[in-house]
Amino acid sequence: MSQVVIITGVGKRLGFNLAKSLLQDGYQVVGTYRTEYTTLDELRSLGAQLHHVDFYDQSQVDDFIQCLESAYPTIRAIIHNASDWMPDPNWQDSNQALEVMHRMMTIHAAIPYRINLAMQHQLRECGHADIIHIGDYVTEKGSKKHIAYAASKAAMNNLTLSFASLLAPEVKVNSISPALLKFNPGDGEDYKEKAKDKALLPREAGFEEVIEGVKMLFNSRFMTGRNLHFDGGRHLK
């Protein structure tokens, strides 16, 4: 069975740790990145095939898809992890508001939609394949400061439902929606305490939580069109 796993956005944080873990498990990881980080050298040393792709550049997207089509006759999984985080602009700046919404919808909805459609034959050929969309718990409640971001992640969740119906039974399609996974090095203590206090389980989940969720979905033969929530119980606070 094919062991090719495509992961978008492997330069840092969850994407890097997920790619590293799957490489160590013996999968052939094909990853994308927009910025060259030193962490990518470690993935290359482990055998990852990495592609520099700016998903806001349609020609680069087309080239990447063409490369996948020619290089991999079967694909075991696609994990859509690439993401962007842009706050909403001043409501009076309509042009900037449209640009923010366009970029958020591009990276979180249009790109997964395009790649899933293009790769459906290679996924079906695998016989037991997965598509996993990495979403966000914020789709459950919305956001006052990141409206476009939240809306685009909700659109991604809806892709899960549609592609699960389209590609069954050969391909399972699911979402994972985490909340707080790991603080950044520059985060202050006050911010950390406020963030943890939003959940019933007041702590960082860690990247391993989602990585184990991915592996569980890989191993499942009876779950599709669903959304795994790793949010520490924020929806109950």
Q: What percent of the chain is helix, strand and coil (3-state, nearest 5)?
A: 50, 15, 35
Find out whether 150 and 103 touch, Cβ atoms under 8 Å: no
CA dihedral 56, 62, 66, 69 (to 10 degrees): 70
List residues bridging with 33 in a β-sheet. Answer: 52
CA nearest 101: which of 157, 137, 35, 150?
Answer: 150
Q: Is 149 in the active site? A: yes
The Cα 95–Cα 83 span in angstroms is 22
- Catalytic residue selected from 33, 72, 137, 149: 149
The Cα 86–Cα 88 span in angstroms is 7
How many beta carbons lie within 10 A of that of residue 33, not counting itself? Answer: 24
Alpha carbons within 13 A on the beta-carbon side of 148: 21
Token pair, residue 57, equals 């550049």
CA–CA–CA angle 47, 51, 52 (5° rounding): 135
Residue numbers annotated as active site: 149
